[in-house]
Structure 1
C-alpha cells in the first residue's frame, strides 16, 4: 500500500511496554486483513522497553504498518485517540496491544458494521470465554452490571478492546481519559446504535497487566459520575434538514 491510497479500514493498537507481544500481533493483523484495504497503526505510549524499536524494525516487512510514538505516557484512551486522529480509514478497529484479542475475529466485526445501517456506529466484541483470573472476571462482572444500570447502555463487556466503529462517530464524542470503557454509552448519547458479537480471548503470554482491580475502581467511580453528567446534559435535535435556495 502506498501513501496515495486511502484504506477502508484502520486498525489502531495502543501499546505500552509490550515487547515480545507487539511484533507477533502486527503479523497476525496482517494475516487477518490480507486482501483487504487496510492500514494498521500502532501507537507506542512512551514504552520503557524495546516495544518501539521492535515495531520500527517490522515496518519494512509489513508495508501497511504505521508506528506513532508518544513523547510521554498518556494512557490507553489517549493512544487510541492519537491513532484515530492519524487514521485514514473510515472504519476503525481497535485491539489491545497485549495480544489477548485475536485479530482473526476483527474482520467479522468490520463486516457486521459495514452491513448495518448508518445508525449503527459501533460493533463491540464480547469476550465469550475470558482468559483472566477469577478475581479480575468477578470485578468486571460487577462493574459491568453497575455501569449498565446507571448509564442504561447495552454492553455486557465494555472492557473488551476489540471493537469496530465509524471514525466520524468516534470523533463526535467528548474526549476524556478512560473514554474507551464508555464508548457504548457515549455512542447512544450521540444518537447512534451499537451491536455486539462474541469474540475469543487468549491468555497473556508476555508482560503484565497495566491495571489493578483497585486502580480500576478508583478511576471508574469518577468516570461513571462524569458520564452520568454528560448523559444528563445531552439533547437530541432529531433529523437535521438543510434547505436549498428557491
Structure 2
C-alpha cells in the first residue's frame, strides 16, 4: 500500500483548520456560555440558599415573637387572674371589715343606750329619793327649820379666809340672809349675834324667805355664798349619787 503524503498532509491541515474553527467558533462560545450558565446557576443557588436562610431566620424570628407574645399573654393572664383574686379577697375583706364595724357600732350604740337608760333610771331614782327626803324634811316642826343651823352657819363663816371675812364686814349694803320661813325676833337676834362674832363686827342683814331651803340658813354676798341648808345637802347628795352611778 502506498501512502499519498500530499493527501495526508492536506487532510491533516484540514483537520487542524477544522479543529481551530471548532475551537474558535464553537468550543469557546459554548464553554463561555456553559461557564456563564454555571455562574448563573451558582448565583441562583446562592440566592436560593440566602433566601432559604432569610426565610429560616424570619421563621425563627416569627416563632420567637409568637413565643414571646404567648409568654406575655400568659403573664398578663396570670396578672389579671391574680388581680381578680386580690380584688375578690379585698372586697371580701372590706365586706368583713364593714360588717365587723357595723357590729361594733351596733354594740357600742346598744351599750350607750344601756348606759344612758341606766343613767336616766339612776337620775330618776335619785330625784325620787331626794324628793321623798325633801317631803319628809318639810314635815319638821317650824322651830326645827332654823334651830340647829345658826351655829354651823357661823362656824362656816368663821372658817372663811380673813380677807373674805373682812370684805363681809366692810359691806355698805346689807348682807342677804336666806331663811326657810320668817324669823321671830329672838331667832333673828340670835342669828345676828352669832354671825357678828364670826365676821368680827356688826353687819346689816336683810332676811329673805326662800321655802326651797326646806330647813337651814344661807348667807349670800356679792363675792361669797355660805350654805347650810337641807336644799344644799340634798343637792350635794344627788350630785354624789349621780356621780357614783356614772362611775
TM score, norm. by length of structure 1: 0.24
Identify the structure with bigger relative contact order (alpha carbons < 8 Å, sequence gap 6+): 1
Rg comparison, structure with higher value: 2
Give 1 or 2: higher strand fraction.
1
TM score, norm. by length of structure 2: 0.24
Give 1 or 2: higher helix fraction.
2
